[in-house]
């Protein structure tokens, strides 16, 4: 028997992943909400790569909460809905995310790895985190998330240029 994940639980069991090779068609990309952050934190913790020297704050709880609050348009989630869920069960499952901030300028390459405040008028968009749930890696989700993110950011930029 296969139990359905609850909010904040693992995104899927291997059965769900293997049973749906076309799962990308059921992934929706949307702005992260405050209620998504705990799941994003869990994904980030599970997929953290150790860097030496360590990169501070790119996917920490504080960094993700800060970005969702202050840089919300630049924090996007990949949300998956299982095909066999009950019709009245309106919950999607976060299986990845991309988050970024805007910067006024970059002084050096260190600006890419150091914690910096979001500048809503900054001309530079710095992607701070790209995270895919382990069970969905190697299936094109990361590339699809980046393409969707870039497309959305271009649209957002066009809109901001039209309406200063």
Q: Which residues contact 57 (CB under 8 A, 6 or more apart)?
A: 63, 115
Model pTM score: 0.76
Beta bridge partners of 96: 78, 132
The single residue listed with the structure tokens 């501070």 is 56
Secondary structure of residue 78 in the 3-state scheme: strand
The Cα 90–Cα 127 span in angstroms is 30
The set of residues, in sequence order, having a beta carbon less than 8 Å from that of 5 and lying 6+ positions away, is 11, 12, 13, 93
* Residue 132 pLDDT: 94
Mean pLDDT by groups of 10 residues along the chain of 164 residues: 39 43 86 93 80 58 89 95 60 90 78 72 89 92 95 88 59
């Amino acid at each position: 028997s296969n139990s359905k994940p609850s909010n904040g639980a693992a995104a899927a069991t291997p059965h769900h992943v293997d049973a749906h090779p076309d799962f990308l068609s059921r992934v929706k990309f949307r702005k992260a909400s405050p209620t998504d952050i705990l799941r994003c934190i869990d994904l980030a913790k599970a997929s953290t790569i150790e860097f030496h020297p360590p990169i501070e704050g790119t996917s920490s709880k504080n960094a993700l909460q800060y970005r969702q609050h202050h840089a919300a348009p630049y924090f996007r989630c990949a949300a998956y809905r299982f095909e066999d869920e009950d019709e009245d069960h309106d919950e999607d499952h976060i299986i990845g995310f991309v988050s970024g901030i805007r910067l006024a300028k970059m002084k050096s390459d260190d600006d890419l790895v150091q914690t910096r405040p979001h500048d809503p008028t900054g001309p530079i968009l710095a992607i701070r985190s790209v995270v895919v749930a382990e069970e969905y890696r190697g299936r094109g989700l990361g590339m699809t998330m980046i393409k969707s993110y870039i497309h959305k950011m271009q649209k957002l930029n066009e809109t901001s240029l039209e309406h200063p």
